[in-house]
Amino acid sequence: MFLRPTHYRHPAFSAGMAQMWPQAPGIAAWGLMTGVAMVKSGMSVFESVLMTLLVFAGSSQLAAIPLLVAGAPAWVILATGFCVNLRFVVFSLHMRPYMMHLPLWERLMHGYLTADLTYVLFTRQYPKPGTTADERLAQTAYLAGNCAVNWGSWISASLVGVVAANFIPTQWGLGFAGILCLIGILCSLASTRLRLVAVGVAGVAAVVAYALPLKLNIVAAIAIAVLLCLSLERFEPQRPAGAPH
């Protein structure tokens, strides 16, 4: 991919890949569905491939596709993508202490490749930023391993969806299958009471705020769940370092 050889040779790189592999089928199913959706919506194969390689954001892609096809103004498309992906602002703020020792180009690449599941697995594995050079190397190597599997699963399946879109009947319901895969991944990660509370609160908030424009209900749901769980976390008993919250 893009990192120094020391990252690939580090044991944490393999560990990051190993922890992401169980999630790969769900990621691939979602990517396949997104690839099919782009072509089925009227985008050309070239446009779909280009969007797959450059955007790398499933929910943002699905939100932008109908706007692109309808000929919406560029600012509306950009605003929609920005609102759908606002959660990554929160992710970035949290991961800033982990990344600031890296060169700018490397931070930018991590920003491009880090997705929801890579963020979740990384922060669960490393609750606190490393303080030594060895710890920082291990953390970036682990994140690179996560990202390699996540990006590879998504891109390969999405490209297959783009190429095979005209041969896949719409009635197969790939969109629903992709959602079911994501629900399976979500259930596997909701392993503590606080995470279950976050899931429930976010789900209810997203439904209640569904009428908001530009899919702002997603942003509202994330913000409400994060704020509530940060407040509740103060009352949680202290856990050993590295234990899930």
Q: Which residue has the higher pLDDT, 62 or 187?
A: 62
- Least Cα distance to 95 among 147, 149, 23, 143 occurs for 143
- Backbone conformation region of residue 42, classed left if phi is above 0, alpha if psi is from -120 to 50, else beta: left
Tens digits of residue pLDDT in 16-66: 999 999 888 888 888 888 888 888 888 888 988 998 888 888 878 877 887
Instruction: Say if CB 99 and CB 107 are below 8 A apart.
Output: yes
Q: Rounded CA gap, 11 and 14, in Å? A: 5
Q: What is the mean pLDDT of residues 152-161?
A: 92
In this prediction the pTM is 0.71
Instruction: Say if CB 220 and CB 205 are below 8 A apart.
Output: yes
Instruction: Say if CB 153 and CB 27 are below 8 A apart.
Output: yes
Residue 25, classified by CB atoms within 10 Å of its CB into exposed (0-12), middle (13-18) or buried (19+), is middle
